[in-house]
Amino acid sequence: MPQHSYASAEKFILSREFFGMKLGLENIKHFLSSVGSPQTKYETIHIAGTNGKGSTAAMLEAVLRAQGYKTGLFTSPHLVSLRERIRVNGKMIPKPAVINFIDKYRQLLVRRKLSFFELLTAMALNYFARVNVEVAVIETGLGGRLDATNVLKPILTITTDISRDHIEILGNSIQKITREKAGIIKEKTPHLIGLLPKTAEEVIRRRCLRMKAPFYKLNRNDFYGNSQEMKLNFNYNGLNIKNLPLSLIGTHQLKNAALVLKALSLINQNGFLVSPKAIYFGIAHTSWPGRFQVVEYKNKPIHIFDVSHNTAGVKSFVESFRWKYPRRKAFIITGFVKRKEHQKIYNSLKAISLLYALVPLATKRSSDLFELIRDIDFHGVPFVKFGSLKTAYLKLLKICSPDDILIIIGSHFLVGEFFEKFKI
C-alpha cells in the first residue's frame, strides 16, 4: 500500500469533524478492541474538570518524566498543530507515526465512523503502546461519562474543578455537570478532587461510595501558596515540599500544583516513586502555552496570551493579572465561540480593560459580533469590532506604547490563530 503524505493524513483526520461530536463509548471500544486494546499496555491517570485539567496534566507528566519514567500525555484542544495533543516524553507525535496510523487503519476508521476526537484518542492510546510508555496522563475532552477517553483502567482518576461550561451538553447545574464528569470514577480505583463546590463534592462522594472507590480531596491545610513569589509549600502523608517554584503563572496554578503533589503521593502505592528533586525540576520546567503566557518584545507592549473561555477561567485570569500587574489595565483582544456566558466574562474583564478589540474566530462556532455588541453591556469600556484578528492586532500595535500591556484572551481558536499567524 502506498504511503500517504502527512498533509493527506491530516486532511483525513480533520474530515472526521463532519461526524460532529459524539458522546458515547461503543465506537471507540470496538475500534480499540479490534487493534489489540492498546490502552491496557501501560498505566494511566485520567483527569477531568471544567478548568485546570490541562495545566494539572502537564505538571503531573513533567514530574513523572523528570523522575525518568517514559510518559505519554494526551490533551485537547490544540493551538496550532493537532500533533500537540499527543506527546511522549514531552515531544509531539512525529508525522510518520500519524501517517502510519491513518494508512494502517483508514478503512476501519471509516467503517466504525469514528469522530475527530475519537480518532485522535485512539491514535494517542495506540501510539503510547507502540513506543512502550510506562505511564500516560490522559485529559478528558468533554465531561467524562461518555467522553471517548473513558475507556481506561487507570491507577488514579482526578477531578480538578467544577464550574458552569458546555451547559448545553453537560447540563445547566453544578450537580448535572458533576455527574457527567464523575463518570470517569472506576470501581475500587482511587479518586482525587481539587477544591470543588460543596454540591459537586457531594455528587462525587456518592459516586465513589457506589463504586467502592477510595475518595481523596485536596484540603486547604495540605498546602500554602505564596502568590507574591509563586511558590508552594505542601505537606501530606510524608511528602513535605517547601518553597516549590512554579513555571506556570497565575494564583490558580498554586492549587493545581498542590493537586499534582497530592496525586503523586497517592500513586506511590502503585510503584511510581517520585523524588523531591524530580518534583522541583518538573514543576519548575512545565511548559503549557496559552495559559497566562507572558511574552515581552523590544519596542512593543507586553503580550499576554490566555485560553480562558468560560466565566470561572476568566475570573481566575483577572485575579492573576491584578496580582502580577497591580493597578494596571490592558488593551484586550477577545474572541469566543457561541453559547458561552459572554456577559459574565465581560463583567470580569472590565476591571482590567482599557479597550476591547472584538474579533471573529476562524470557525463556524464563532460568536456573532453583531449579536455580541447588541446584547452585551461593556460597562463603559470602549470597544471596536474588527473583521479579523490580524487587522485588530496591527491596529492595536499602532496605538499601544511599549509600556502598555496587550492581552489576547478567549478561545483556543483565537490564541492558536495568533501563534500561527505571528509565529509565537
What string of DSSP letters covers 57-84?
HHHHHHHHHHTT--EEEE----SS-GGG
In which band, very low, low, confident or very high, does the pLDDT at 132 lie, cut at 50, 70 and 90? very high
- What pLDDT was estimated at residue 23? 63
Q: pLDDT tens across 198-209, in order?
A: 999 999 999 999
Domains of the chain with bracketed CATH:
6-284 (3.40.1190.10), 293-422 (3.90.190.20)
pLDDT > 90? residue 172: no
pLDDT > 70? residue 256: yes
Question: Would you report the helix, strand and coil content of the chain in percent, each value rounded to 5?
Answer: 45, 20, 35
Q: Nine-digit cell at 269? A: 502505592
Task: For residue 355, count CB atoms less than 10 angstroms from its CB and return exposed for 0-12, middle for 13-18, buried for 19 or more.
Answer: middle
First to last CA, the chain: 38
Mean pLDDT, residues 272-281 taken together:
97
Q: How far apart are CA 9 and CA 154, in angstroms?
A: 30
- What pLDDT was estimated at residue 2? 54
Q: How far apart are CA 96 and CA 117, in angstroms?
A: 20
Mean pLDDT, residues 312-324 taken together:
94
In which band, very low, low, confident or very high, does the pLDDT at 24 lie, cut at 50, 70 and 90? confident
- What pLDDT was estimated at residue 21? 60
Mean pLDDT, residues 249-275 taken together:
95
Q: pLDDT tens across 64-109, in order?
A: 999 999 999 999 999 999 999 999 999 999 999 999 999 999 999 9
pLDDT > 70? residue 302: yes
Length of the chain in terms of residues written: 424
Task: For residue 120, count CB atoms less than 10 angstroms from its CB and return exposed for 0-12, middle for 13-18, buried for 19 or more.
Answer: buried
Distances (CA, A) of 174 to 141, 164, 220, 347: 18, 7, 21, 21
In which band, very low, low, confident or very high, does the pLDDT at 142 lie, cut at 50, 70 and 90? confident
Q: Where are the alpha helices (DSSP H) in 182-225?
A: 198-210
pLDDT > 70? residue 193: yes
Task: For residue 196, count CB atoms less than 10 angstroms from its CB and return exposed for 0-12, middle for 13-18, buried for 19 or more.
Answer: buried
Dihedral of the alpha carbons of 17, 19, 25, 30, in degrees to the nearest 10: -100
Q: Nine-digit cell at 411? A: 478561545
Q: Output the pTM of the full model.
A: 0.94
3-state secondary structure of 146: coil
In which band, very low, low, confident or very high, does the pLDDT at 171 lie, cut at 50, 70 and 90? very low
Number of other CB atoms surrounding residue 270 within 10 Å: 14
- What pLDDT was estimated at residue 273? 95
Strands (E), 266-415: 293-295, 302-306, 330-335, 353-358, 383-385, 405-410
CB 124 within 8 A of CB 51: no
According to DSSP, residue 166 is labeled S
pLDDT > 50? residue 257: yes
- What pLDDT was estimated at residue 173? 82
Identify the CA nearest to 196 among candidates 170, 178, 176: 178
Mean pLDDT, residues 228-257 taken together:
94
Mean pLDDT, residues 112-124 taken together:
95
CB 88 within 8 A of CB 128: yes
Identify the CA nearest to 164 among candidates 290, 363, 312: 312
Q: pLDDT tens across 353-367, in order?
A: 999 999 999 999 899
